[in-house]
């Protein structure tokens, strides 16, 4: 069981051991969720329609922005603060609960207007039920952040895996019974409700009946800029979804939502393990800039070594993947998926860098630059969507994400000392390996006479892996060495060969 006393005792543990445990358990959680999502995605894509997914996607703007205000940056502030008091933690809990109730009623009474805006009547009752997730999630935000702060990802991962299994089973059963969009609503409610119940009855922590304005002011001095940064990012993302749903259709949004969720599921194979752990890890070492720079370098290179080839392979095999997993009716989403995979490379790398800026307490700097890059990015994305349709939208997405990456490595260069030129140089070898493998893979099928899409996909996959792995084993670039050093069994074999 977990409480504040246990947390304080854990502060004496070695950072390396806690971080390693965190990486392992987050890896177990993410890979289990990916496997479950892979199987369930195949089933649900045949039971539900792009329209069903599009309806849920249309409500994402209101749900996401509400969640951002409920947390208000206090979650990151709690992790970043070295020794939060019991009053601090209880104050955050009551803030979360109060804001969730207020925002639920705002959405409840706004639901008819939102349904009229999209001209889809079912969105009114769907939003009124879906918005209950806000209150349920607020009930356990503090507990989740305390567990993250102590790097106790084992318990979080176990609960998350069990929750995912139960929610998916219920969703599939309801979809099979013809419940359509309501099956997805139920999935979201269960995903929020099960952890709330488990955390409350299993953990010893309870809020005290205190609410301190001093705690609010202190934590908000950091959390306010995190809130504003998160708000701008979420607003920019969800405005795009709103415009797709309004200017095109629920079906088009459904294709985009499926492509987006598939890309996120894929990128989580590599980056999700790292980004879930690095923020509390950065917070622990925030006063040692040299050590922090070294951590960023190692994480960036290890992530890039695995992420670059994986995402490029997905781009090459996008069509057979969609055809195999989701059936022919989802093929219009292939182009969205390919572009989002290319975007995912920069998104993962910028996340590694951006979390550093927050962890060292530079939330105001992070907000200022988020405001600038969001403004420029939104002009490109929204302008492209309005004037050039979905093609212009995709170009804008690429522009924004790579702009964000370069801004973030510039901030790390200034405040941490890991120079942006050094980071790009460190990534250059992996970039060259990945692009060479991609080119060889694509060229390998230009003269293949077979019309079978799966045969072409298999040839591309084998060619890419042969070039990339062969280059790694022969040249042994620094990123390869870092990655191997993080895998004990492989590290042992390398030493044995040496």
- Identify the pLDDT of residue 435: 96
Confidence of residue 490 (pLDDT cuts 50, 70, 90): very low
Split at pLDDT 50, 70, 90, the class of 189 is very high
Written as six digits, the tokens of 95 are: 């803030």
Own/partner long-range contacts of 264-268 (Cβ < 8 Å, ≥24 apart): 264/344, 265/34, 265/37, 265/38, 265/41, 266/310, 266/311, 266/314, 266/341, 266/344, 267/307, 267/311, 267/341, 267/344, 267/347, 267/348, 268/30, 268/33, 268/34
- Mean pLDDT, to the nearest integer, of 238-250? 80
Could you tell me the pLDDT band of residue 9, with boundaries at 50, 70 and 90?
very low
For the chain, helix, strand, coil in percent to 5 are 85, 0, 15
Predicted pLDDT of residue 491: 43
Q: What is the structure's pLDDT at 44?
A: 85
The predicted model gives 116-131 an average pLDDT of 92
Q: Which residue has the higher pLDDT, 119 or 337?
A: 337
Contacts of 496 (CB under 8 A, 6+ apart): none
Task: Using pLDDT thresholds of 50, 70 and 90, give the confidence band for residue 362.
Answer: confident
Q: Which range is least confidently modeled, 190-199, 365-374, 425-434?
A: 365-374
Lowest mean pLDDT among 120-129, 200-209, 485-494: 485-494
Contacts of 331 (CB under 8 A, 6+ apart): 319, 322, 323
> Could you tell me the pTM of the whole model?
0.70
Q: pLDDT at position 175, please?
A: 92
pLDDT digit string (tens) for 49-80? 888 888 888 888 888 888 877 876 666 667 66
418: number of Cβ within 10 Å: 23
pLDDT, tens only, 304-320: 998 899 999 999 999 99
Average pLDDT, the chain: 81
Using the predicted structure, report yes or no on whether residue 302 has a pLDDT greater than 90. no
Quote the Cα angle for 419-423-425, to 5°: 115
pLDDT of residue 489: 41
- pLDDT for the residue 3: 42
DSSP 8-state code for residue 13 = S
For 11-37, letters b (16+ CB in 10 Å) and e give eeeeeeebbebbbebbbbbbebbbebb
pLDDT of residue 13: 47
- 393 touches 351 (CB < 8 A): no
Q: Which DSSP string do the residues of 204-240 spell out, in sequence order?
A: -----S---HHHHHHHHHHHHHHHHHHHHHHHHHHHH
- Residue 167 in this model has a pLDDT that exceeds 70: yes
Tell whether the model's pLDDT for residue 408 goes beyond 70: yes
Q: What is the CA radius of gyration of the chain?
A: 23
pLDDT value of position 216:
73
Residue 421 to residue 410: CA distance in whole angstroms: 9
Q: Hey, where are the domains in the chain?
A: 1-233
Whole-number pLDDT of residue 460: 94
Write down the pLDDT at residue 497.
47
Question: Would you say 62 and 242 are in contact if contact means Cβ atoms under 8 Å apart?
Answer: no
In the chain, the percentage of residues whose pLDDT exceeds 90 is: 28
Between residues 389 and 496, which one has the greater pLDDT?
389
In sequence order, which residues have a C-beta less than 8 Å from that of residue 429 and are 6 or more positions away? Answer: 477, 478, 479
pLDDT of 110: 94
Using alpha carbons, list the distances in angstroms from residue 405 to 122, 369, 400, 402.
39, 11, 9, 5
Rounded CA separation 99/169 (Å): 31
């Amino acid at each position: 069981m977990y409480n504040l006393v246990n947390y304080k005792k854990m502060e004496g543990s070695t950072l390396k051991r806690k971080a390693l445990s965190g990486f392992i358990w987050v890896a177990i959680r993410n890979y289990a969720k990916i496997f479950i999502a892979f199987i369930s995605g195949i089933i649900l894509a045949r039971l539900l329609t792009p329209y069903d997914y599009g309806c849920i996607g249309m409500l994402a703007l209101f749900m996401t922005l509400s969640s951002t205000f409920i947390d208000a940056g206090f979650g990151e502030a709690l992790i970043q603060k070295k020794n939060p008091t019991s009053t601090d933690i209880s104050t955050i809990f009551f803030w979360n609960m109060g804001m969730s109730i207020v925002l639920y009623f705002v959405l409840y009474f706004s639901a008819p207007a939102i349904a009229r805006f999209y001209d889809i009547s079912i969105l009114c009752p769907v939003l009124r039920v879906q918005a209950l997730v806000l209150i349920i999630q607020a009930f356990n935000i503090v507990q989740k952040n305390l567990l993250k702060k102590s790097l106790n990802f084992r318990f979080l991962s176990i609960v998350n895996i069990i929750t995912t299994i139960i929610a998916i089973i219920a969703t599939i059963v309801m979809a099979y019974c013809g419940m359509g969009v309501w099956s997805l609503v139920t999935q979201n409610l269960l995903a929020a409700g099960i952890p709330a119940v488990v955390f409350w009855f299993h953990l010893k922590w309870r809020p005290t009946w205190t609410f301190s304005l001093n705690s609010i002011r202190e934590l908000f001095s950091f959390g306010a800029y995190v809130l504003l940064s998160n708000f701008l990012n979420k607003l920019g993302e969800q405005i795009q979804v709103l415009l797709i749903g309004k200017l095109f259709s629920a079906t088009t949004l459904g294709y985009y939502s499926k492509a987006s969720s598939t890309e996120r599921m894929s990128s989580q194979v590599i980056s999700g393990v790292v980004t879930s752990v690095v923020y509390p890890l950065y917070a622990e070492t925030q006063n040692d800039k040299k050590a922090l720079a070294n951590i960023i370098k190692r994480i960036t290179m290890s992530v890039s070594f695995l992420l670059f080839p994986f995402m490029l392979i997905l781009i090459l095999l996008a069509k057979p993947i969609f055809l195999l997993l989701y059936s022919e009716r989802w093929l219009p989403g292939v182009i969205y998926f390919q572009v989002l995979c290319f975007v995912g490379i920069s998104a993962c790398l910028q996340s590694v860098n951006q979390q550093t800026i927050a962890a060292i307490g530079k939330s105001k700097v992070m907000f200022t630059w988020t405001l600038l890059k969001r403004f420029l990015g939104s002009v490109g994305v929204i302008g492209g969507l309005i004037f050039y349709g979905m093609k212009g939208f995709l170009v804008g997405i690429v522009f924004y994400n790579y702009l964000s990456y370069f801004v973030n490595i510039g901030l790390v260069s200034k405040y941490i000392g890991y120079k942006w030129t050094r980071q790009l140089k460190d990534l250059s070898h992996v970039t060259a390996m990945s692009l060479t493998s991609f080119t060889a893979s694509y060229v390998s099928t230009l003269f293949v006479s077979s019309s079978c899409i799966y045969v072409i996909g298999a040839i591309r996959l084998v060619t890419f892996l042969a070039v990339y792995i062969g280059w790694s084993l022969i040249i042994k670039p620094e990123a390869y060495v870092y990655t191997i050093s993080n895998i004990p069994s492989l590290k042992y074999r390398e030493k044995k060969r040496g």
